[in-house]
Chains A and B, each alone.
Chain A
Amino acid sequence: MSGMGDVRAEDERTPRVEPEPLLQIRDLQVDFTTMHGSVRAVEDASLSLEAGRTLAVVGESGSGKSTTAMAAIGLLAGNGKVTGGSIRFNGQDLVGLPESRMRDIRGRQIGLVPQDPMSNLNPVSRIGTQVAETLLTHRLATRRDVDARVVEVLEAAGIPEAGRRSRQYPHELSGGLRQRALIAVALACRPRLLIADEPTSALDVTVQQVILDQIEQMTQELGTAILLITHDLGLAAERAQDLVVMHRGKVVESGPAAQLLEDPQHPYTRSLVRAAPSVAAVRLAPEAFTGARGEDHPAPAQREGHPGARPLPDGGTAGALPASAPVRAEDGRGWGRGAGADTEPLVTITDLTKVYPVRGGDDFYAARNVSLEIPRGTTVSIVGESGSGKTTTARMLLRLIEPTSGSITFDGRDVLTLDRRELRDFRQRVQAVFQDPYSSLNPMFTVGRIIEEPLIAYKRGGARERRDRVVELMDQVALPSSMHRRYPAELSGGQRQRVAIARALALRPELIVCDEPVSALDVLVQDQILTLLGDLQQELGLSYLFISHDLAVVRLISDYVCVMKDGELVEAATSEEIFTNPRHAYTRRLLASIPGNELGIETGVA
Chain B
Amino acid sequence: MFRLIGNRLLLLAPTIIGLSVLLFLWVRALPGGPATALLGDKATPEAVARVNEAYGFDRPILEQYFIYMGRILSGDFGNSLLTSRPVLEEFAARFPATLELTAFALLFAVGFGIPLGYWAARNVGRWQDQAAVLLSLMGVVVPVFFLAFILKWVFAVQLGWLPTDGRQDPRIDATHYTNFFVWDGMITGEYDAAWDALTHLVLPGVALGTIPLAIIARITRASVLEVQNADYVRTARAKGLAPRLIRNRFVMRNALLPVTTTLGLQLGLLISGAVLTETVFAFNGIGSFLWDAIFNLDFPVLQGFIIFIAVIYSLINLLVDVSYGLIDPRVRVS
Contact = CB atoms under 8 A, between A and B. Distances in A.
Touch between chains A and B, by CB atoms below 8 Å: yes
Interface stretch (A105-113, A324-332, A454-462): A105-113
Contact of B327 (A105, A106, A122, A124): A124
Nearest to B237: A75
Interface stretch (B139-147, B241-249, B261-269): B241-249
B173 interface: no
- Counting chain A CB atoms within 10 Å of each CB, the highest count among B232, B234, B257 belongs to B232
Contact of B241 (A73, A124, A133, A186): A133
A116 B235 CA distance: 11
A185 B239 contact: yes
Contacts of B253: 122, 124-125
Interface residues of A, number: 32
A119 B238 contact: no
A77 B229 CA distance: 8
A169 interface: yes
B259 to A, nearest CB: 14
A124 B242 contact: no
Interface string A347-368: 0000000000000000000000
A104 B238 contact: no
B254 A124 contact: yes
B231 A114 contact: yes
A233 B303 CA distance: 72
B239 A125 contact: no
A84 B5 CA distance: 58
Given A133-B241, A133-B245, A134-B241, A171 B330 contact: yes
A121 B233 CA distance: 8
A182 interface: yes
Nearest to B253: A124
Contacts of A315: none
Contacts of A122: 232, 236, 249-250, 253-254
Contacts of B230: 119
Given A106-B240, A107-B239, A125 B231 contact: no
A112 B240 contact: no
B254 A103 contact: no
A120 interface: yes
Interface in B44-94: none
A124 B232 CA distance: 11
Interface in A88-128: 103-108, 110-112, 114, 116, 119-125
Contact of A108 (B229, B240, B329): B240
A107 B241 contact: yes
A138 interface: yes
A171 B241 contact: no
Closest 3 CB pairs of A and B: A107-B240, A112-B238, A106-B240
Interface of A: 73, 75, 77-78, 103-108, 110-112, 114, 116, 119-125, 133-134, 137-138, 169, 171-172, 182, 185-186
Given A124-B257, A134-B241, A137-B239, 20 more contacts: A73-B238, A77-B229, A78-B229, A104-B240, A106-B237, A106-B240, A107-B241, A112-B238, A114-B231, A114-B235, A119-B232, A122-B232, A122-B254, A123-B254, A123-B330, A124-B253, A133-B239, A134-B240, A138-B240, A169-B329
